[in-house]
Chains A and B, each alone.
Chain A
Amino acid sequence: MEKLRHILHFDLITTRKSVAILLSVYFVFGIYYAYFLEDLKAVPISIMIWVTSLTGLPFQLNEKYGVNYLLATFPIRRKNIIQGRYLYSLLFGAIGISLSEIMICILASFFHIGFDHRQIYLSLCFGVLIFSLIISVYLPMYFWFTHVHMLMVSSVFVYFFYILLEQLYYLGILNVSIDTAIVGLCHYFMLAIAIIFLISAILVICSYCISCKLFLNKDI
């Protein structure tokens, strides 16, 4: 656990400036949704997608400057590097969830928007699912191919896909959107949350096992 903390600390020092810049971007998106759409359900999903792209930053910087070579000389095992990367990603996931909560409270009181807590929690869960899905695909790819920009690209792609779905729904082309699905799932609130978290956990665990398989015997 100590080694993981050190890797996490190392990655945080690597990315501290970029984190500050990107956090301000999340607030802009949150305000956009609350003010123009008067819909807080979109805030968690939006934030989680952008948090996902943020988790790729230390990997990108490490690859760009060859920091992984340096890590390989430190008294840590390769498994620690994998665990550190997953821990960093999950930490940012947790930050994303917390940020969403804070943002919703601030926006709701600032713009006087009423909201259903169950809908917000479900939308948060969808955000977690999207986050887990992208991370689970990206991290094994990173450990094998070191495709560092993939995370940013896939996050942006997912984000615009989400906006597209919403717009198609508003235009009447689609009958169901993520928003309406969230409202529908409120009838099975606890079950829906449990299933979404279970799927997310399975995705991350499988992804971790694949990453270990790929990276432990790889030439750096």
Chain B
Amino acid sequence: MIAGIVALSTLILFAAKAPPMAAFRHLFMGSVGSWLKISQVLMGWIPLTLCACGLVFSFRVGLWNIGVEGQVVAGAITATAILRLGAESSMPGTILVIAFLGGMLGGSLWAALAGFLKVKGGVNEIFGGLGLNFVAQGITLWLIFGPWKRPGVASMSGTELFPPSLWLPTLHTLRLSPVGLALTCAVLIGAAWVLSRTRLGLALKGIGNNPRAAYLHGLKPNRYIIVAMGLAGGCAGLAGTFQVVGVYHRLIPAISSNYGYLALLVVMLANYRIGAAPAIAFFFVCLNVGSIQLPMMLQLDSSLSGIIQGSLVLGALLLYGYRRRRQGGEKV
């Protein structure tokens, strides 16, 4: 699989008349070549892994939560609102904690809305989620250009920066947030525990595998669908809050950095389980960070990273497909 991807990337690079070895070297050195780069990768790993954790909940109950992107945005908007209210406060630490809780709640409610639309309105979660993504994006733009615009001129560069007291603290020399890392690890462990060791985890799995049987066992699928969506959105909301307080220190139009959509690829490649997700997320962010310098160094578009990520997931789907085909063939 890995050999196949290296071969494919090499082929793509040859097709673009670019030197493959140089491109791979830039990808590698640009992501893990120095402590500074590694900390940059980890700052992307935090929101991506948080989103992936959440997605495992919604996949477990059998939902395709494509709305995770909008849930990140909803979390970011809520966190920004709280930070704006608390900008003058004398207790920045408390405000940050409230921002995280609020962001989590914001993402959770946005996801629960998609769940509610599915359960009560018959709107498939894919179309509902997708629609809500664009609505969240529209609200962000409206806020940045309207009520929250910078004094003077509104622009695509976002709202005004928060005072540094409301920035998530980073290590002295590196741009790395220990709080963010600890939070993500805690969410990872918590999610793995809930999914494998609790009744809730078992119920979600049961409903995902066979909603009708679960219903006959006395579980209420609709209620669990909303719970799973709420948990998924909560994780995504944390990611959005982190983007605001830890990375950009303001609300920008592209606040989600597409981590919601990328997290879907991560979880698909991890075969919808949490186990491999952190490692895959790390690798994906390495590709993203490493490809930043491709345009300058080799005049290549940085979307090379996306091609590699997408081909990996397509390759995995092909593999699963063939396996299923073979199994099906044996039965007949």
Does B bind A?
A: no
Chain B residues packing against A (C-beta within 8 Å): none
Chain A residues packing against B (C-beta within 8 Å): none
